[in-house]
């Protein structure tokens, strides 16, 4: 089987790494990939994974490439090509592809759509309103005492969510999004949610249109600095499992969310095949969904795929084909921890091209895998090429051991300005 993977981050390196272990795969490309992805080899025949210089949003070129190379299966990592309809496009040309179609991608591309869907189908969520009118939005904020979260409707590079503690802040947030258009057209409409307190966890479920299979829990660390201080980022580290939901509570949450979700999709004519990643707040009144993402989380993918025992090609194929009910997801009992090493300055401005050393030594440590997020090959050396540079991931008998192993690997790696959090998974203890 010849597989094309689309994307270039830590999520895509983890996908490539896991897919490459499948005996079904004889050839693999990644567009555009990164320096770590280019080092991967297929288990079946030792062939190198080939990185192809086509951007993840260049749908026409990706289609041309997949046709020319006769790719049997394409796997899409990031949200943008999904929202642009890459799945519909490939399917129109008779190509097999994994990921959500354009209609299903709305769950991530429109927070208004998601909020209305959750309310219509009884999925537990925050008390909320959706607005296209500034005055009405502000009035609703006032009914929440100003303690609320104002969210731009559309894709805003993860930045269109403003947390407000009083009415003045809430009115400023509404103005910023709807009047000053800080996030462009993404802010033509807003969702205002009550501010929820609790522990936040990530859920993932693989879906095939009718069946949804829940993953174990994981937790991301969004803020740049230890103790959840500093700016919001794309994620500074993850671990799985979390101690915040028992197996029984996870099963109950899955039932309360996935059942109405899949039922609602069928009722609305949405063929949801791909990954569903709800952000969840565990509140005193039970779990509440904050938002839906329609793809694997990054860096959640790194901890999930190091724990997954199944053949990922078979699972994604079943998700695309509607035969997931026949599969049982199997997870290693070990815990997994991923520590992101970022460029100095991230999530603000940061330099690129810093030489990275110690990668081989880190990768040789037992149970350890260094996933590349923003790296490139320059004059025979691996250099930094993004904000998040590496996802240093390790398995351990328990979370403490996995955490120690991940940080031991981090200690092997050097690049100028390297910045990472020292408290990934600490909340679990």
Q: Which residues bind ligand AMP (CB under 6 A)?
A: 126, 149, 151, 161, 163, 193, 195-196, 200, 222, 279, 290-291
Q: By C-beta, is 291 or 317 nearer to ligand AMP?
A: 291
DSSP string, 224-287: EEGGGEEEE-S-SEEEES-TTS-HHHHHHHHHHHHHHHHHHHHHHT---EEEEEEEEEEETTEE
Q: Return the residue matching tokens 């050393």.
A: 357
Mark residue 340 as left, alpha or beta (left: phi above 0; alpha: psi -120 to 50; beta: remaining).
beta
As a whole number of angstroms, the distance between CA 289 and CA 76 comes to 24
Min separation Cβ 151 and ligand AMP, Å: 6
Alpha-carbon separation of residue 26 from 2, 4, 23, 72, 95 (angstroms): 6, 11, 8, 11, 18
Instruction: Please answer whether residues 205 and 215 qualify as being in contact, where contact means their C-beta atoms are separated by less than 8 angstroms.
Output: yes
Distance (Å, whole) CA 185 – CA 101: 22
Q: From the CB of 202, what's the least distance to ligand AMP, in Å? A: 9
Token pair belonging to 16: 């490539």
Nearer to ligand AMP, 195 or 407 (CB): 195
Task: Please identify, using beta-carbon distances, which residue of 17 and 277 lies nearer to ligand AMP.
Answer: 277
Shortest Cβ 208–ligand AMP spacing (Å) = 25
- Min dist CB 229 to ligand AMP, Å, is 14
Give me the residue whose beta carbon is nearest to ligand AMP.
Answer: 291
Nearer to ligand AMP, 163 or 377 (CB): 163
Q: How far apart are CA 357 and CA 351, in angstroms?
A: 17
Q: Assess contact for 343 and 417: CB atoms under 8 A.
A: yes
Residue among 121 and 195 whose Cβ is closer to ligand AMP? 195
- As given in the structure block, the two tokens for residue 79 are 């949200």
Residue 35 CB, nearest approach to ligand AMP (Å): 30
Q: How far apart are CA 371 and CA 364, in angstroms?
A: 13
Residue 358 to residue 355: CA distance in whole angstroms: 10
Separation CA 107–CA 272 (nearest Å):
10
Min dist CB 201 to ligand AMP, Å, is: 10
The least CB distance from residue 158 to ligand AMP, in Å, is: 7
Contact 35, 372 (CB under 8 A): yes
Between 76 and 196, CB nearer to ligand AMP? 196
End-to-end Cα spacing for the chain: 43
Q: Residue 110 is encoded by which pair of tokens?
A: 């429109």
Whichever of 52 and 163 has its CB closer to ligand AMP, that residue is 163
Check: CB of residue 395 under 8 Å from CB of residue 331: no
Minimum distance of ligand AMP from residue 128's CB (angstroms) = 8
Q: Which of residues 88 and 283 has its CB atom nearest to ligand AMP in the complex?
A: 283
Give the residue carrying structure tokens 């990472």: 420
Residue 223 or 378 having the CB closest to ligand AMP: 223
45 vs 166, beta carbon nearer ligand AMP: 166
Strands, E, within 23-78: which ranges? 27-32, 50-51, 73-76
Which CB atom, from 195 or from 331, has the smaller least distance to ligand AMP?
195
Q: What would you measure as the largest C-alpha separation in the chain, in angstroms?
A: 63
Query: What does the alpha-carbon distance between residue 90 and residue 155 come to, in Å, rounded to a whole number?
Result: 23
């Amino acid at each position: 089987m010849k597989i094309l993977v689309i994307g270039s981050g830590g999520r895509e390196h983890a996908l490539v790494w896991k897919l490459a272990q499948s005996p079904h795969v004889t050839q693999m490309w990644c567009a555009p990939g990164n320096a770590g992805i280019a080092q991967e080899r297929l288990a079946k025949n030792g062939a190198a994974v080939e990185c192809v210089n086509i951007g993840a949003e260049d749908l026409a070129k990706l289609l041309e490439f997949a046709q020319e190379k006769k790719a049997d299966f394409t796997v899409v990592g990031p949200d943008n090509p999904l929202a642009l309809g890459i799945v519909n496009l490939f399917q129109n040309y008779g190509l097999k592809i994994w990921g959500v179609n354009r209609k299903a991608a709305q769950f991530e591309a429109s927070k208004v759509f998601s909020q209305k869907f959750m309310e219509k189908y009884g999925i537990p969520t925050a008390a909320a309103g959706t607005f296209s009118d500034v005055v009405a939005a502000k009035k609703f904020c006032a009914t929440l005492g100003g303690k609320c979260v104002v969210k731009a409707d559309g894709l805003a590079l993860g930045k269109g969510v403003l947390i407000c503690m009083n009415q003045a802040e809430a009115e400023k947030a509404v103005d910023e999004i709807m009047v000053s258009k800080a996030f462009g057209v993404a802010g033509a409409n807003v969702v205002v949610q009550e501010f929820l307190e609790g522990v936040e966890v990530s859920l993932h479920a693989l879906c095939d249109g009718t069946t949804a299979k829940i993953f174990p829990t994981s937790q991301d660390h969004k803020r740049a600095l230890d103790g959840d201080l500093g700016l919001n980022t794309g994620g500074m580290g993850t671990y799985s499992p979390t101690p915040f939901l028992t197996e029984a509570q996870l099963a109950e949450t899955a039932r309360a969310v996935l059942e109405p979700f899949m039922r609602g999709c069928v009722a609305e004519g949405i063929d949801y095949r791909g990954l569903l990643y709800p952000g969840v707040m565990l509140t005193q009144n039970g779990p509440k969904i904050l938002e839906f993402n329609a793809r694997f989380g990054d860096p959640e993918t790194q901890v999930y795929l190091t724990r997954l025992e199944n053949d990922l090609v078979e699972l994604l194929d079943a998700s695309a084909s509607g035969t997931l009910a026949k599969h049982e997801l199997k997870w290693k009992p070990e815990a997994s921890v991923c520590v992101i090493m970022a460029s100095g300055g991230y999530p603000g401005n940061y330099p690129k091209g810093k030489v990275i050393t110690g990668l081989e030594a880190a990768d040789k440590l037992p149970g350890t895998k260094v996933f590349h997020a923003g790296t490139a090959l320059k004059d025979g050396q691996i250099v930094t090429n993004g904000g998040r540079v590496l996802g240093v991931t390790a398995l351990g008998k328990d979370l403490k051991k996995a955490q120690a192993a991940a940080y031991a690997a981090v200690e092997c790696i050097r690049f100028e300005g390297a910045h990472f959090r020292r408290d990934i998974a600490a909340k679990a203890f």
